[in-house]
Amino acid sequence: MSKCKITVMKITTYPDLIKEYENPIEHTCDLKEGMTFITDGNIPQGFCESAWQTLYPFIRELLDGGGNFYDGWMKNPKSAMLSCNDGFRPVTFLVELI
């Protein structure tokens, strides 16, 4: 059975946007740059639910034999570079079929 590897590539924070627009929150993301997760199509333990919702359609496509997203967007057609939908502190992930 195929699997995908998810690697946390970058975590960015926009303090100016947080200060102006975000209500204070106690807990944000637990992910750290360099962390890796392996999935067979199920959310990996410790992975962010919100990020999973963004990555899942690409993961499912790769696991089902697809790829080559957006007609050659990635050098490796069996991969995708994606970010979560947190506009204040987006996390960028590399998803690769392994």
Could you list the mean pLDDT of each consecutive 10-residue stretch along the chain, which spans 98 residues? 96 96 90 97 95 97 96 96 95 98
Q: In this predicted structure, what is the pLDDT of residue 94? A: 98
pTM of the model: 0.93
Rounded-to-integer distance, Cα 50 and Cα 28, Å: 11
Q: In this predicted structure, what is the pLDDT of residue 1? A: 81
Q: In this predicted structure, what is the pLDDT of residue 75? A: 97
Q: In this predicted structure, what is the pLDDT of residue 90? A: 96
Give the burial string for 49-70 (b: 16+ CB within 10 Å, else e).
eebbebbeebbebbbeeebebe
Rounded-to-integer distance, Cα 52 and Cα 35, Å: 15
